[in-house]
Structure 1
Amino acid sequence: MEEYYWDTKLDYLKRTRDLYYNDDYFEFLVKFVWKLSKPVHIIDFGCGYGYLGLKLLPLLPSGSTYTGIDKGNQLISKAKELFQDAPYETEFIVSDTNEIELEKKYDIAVSQAFLLHMSEPKKILRKMVNSVVDGGKIICFEPHWIAGMSSYYLDGFDQSQIVQLGMLQKLYEEGAKQTGRDGNIGAKLPHYLSELGVKNIECRVSDKVNFLNPEDNEKDKEGLFHSLKEDGVGEKPEHKEAYITSLINRGVSLDDAVEQYDSVQLFSQVFNINSSLAWAPGMKITFGEITNK
């Protein structure tokens, strides 16, 4: 049996999730935006190792429960391990979310950086909506890649030297058309949820800004730097000819492909542990109410 890709990425997931959220922002959402004052039963689509459960359950009213679904056996095993001594009622299911059939019994359906990897995200959204009881909520933490790419500042360089926004925007859009997988889905979710009949839709943006400060102590710098590198910041491109050829095969002109390669190569060369870098990923958090009225 072919190994599930995300089962091989557990270490990556654990080292990079905190690049996207501040813990106090989760608390703000739970207490002041969603105003969750009664126990809730949450189902997490594409739960991975249970990241959202680990963040949300300590903030939710006592008696709240958490169910996580993921295709990865190793991810679910890790989730069970992390929660085995926790004082919460949890359930973890190994299943393909495209295929699983669920009862309409949950108060909240959530996803976190999951829908962007789905070739039919609207199909998953419908499953999420259909799993929630009347008056419940759907909450999606999903990225808007081009917004995140526009939020880099590396001291000593113009952003246009290291990030080609126009090129990336076209590549993201074309990739979504070809595969259905859309890294900009976070910006589209309010519209998609409206199409599914979800009411009272709102969207927030995570307030997380990562600042790699050359004046910080070495331990703090090293931790953040390696998390950023793990997430692809300043990643070294593949061999030049192969990189350019792959872009041309995706419809990019030779001149644009060369310019994109040069900017990525420059970023990889100048970004190091002593760089001064600020980056706001801008994760979109979209939510609404399920109602049959």
Structure 2
Amino acid sequence: MPQFSIFSWFGFPVPMEERFKLIKMAGFEGVLLWWSDEHAAVDGDKSLQPEMARRNGLFIENIHTPIEECINGLWTNSAAGDEFERILSGCIVACAEHAIPTAVVHVSRGDNPPPPSQIGLDRIKRLLETAERKNINIALENLRKPEFLDFIFSNIQSDRLGFCYDSGHENCYTPGADFLAKYGSKLMALHLHDNDGTDDYHQIPGEGSIDWSALLKKISGTGYGGAIALEVANKIPLCGETPASYLKKAFGAAQKLVNYKEADQLLDIVAFENYRR
């Protein structure tokens, strides 16, 4: 049976210890950690989270590296680029220190980043050298600009460099891009969530316009053997929704996705379509 994981920040500002307990109680077996100090007032010291999650019976699938203003500096000869490279290098080292196998990375931000460049490629190569020494994976996530992934993957080959597929990003930013057809063989992580195609709402699968039957067949076709990983957040709050009720709903949706996980088995499409209604 597949395992189920969820992003540790699912939209409710509750203390981390309580959050991990609720995630486990809902049925999830693993978490994706947000490796930033952005929510430190609620989340506390991020370096304490791996042990806290494991103490509550959860495995840690990966960390999400920070989404900083300096991301686009990666591609320029600038102090911002130096700073972002330093941040990412620290995240790779933290993965090794905390026995976390993968760091998920954004390589651009917004609609108008600078173009892909040799400077950026050299920065990524240096980060990969660190990752290879420490046996850590770097998974690059699909965003608004597919040309960055095309440029990196066509110029760098490493067993430690792979792909994080984000279903919501493809649906609202680059519909029809079919990243799984391009990079399914490099798949190292999943960010599964839904939206209506207009914005990145991080809704629970089944609440938006994604064709999950078709998508999960594609994921199955890649041979990916990792967890069913949700990156959902309660961005559109419902009256009376609690952390526990939200997680229960999310876990139910994750279980329904299993109907599509095995490409060679009969898919329970009717059940999922009834669920969407």
Normalised TM-score (structure 1): 0.33
Structure possessing the higher radius of gyration over alpha carbons:
1
Greater fraction of residues in strand: 1
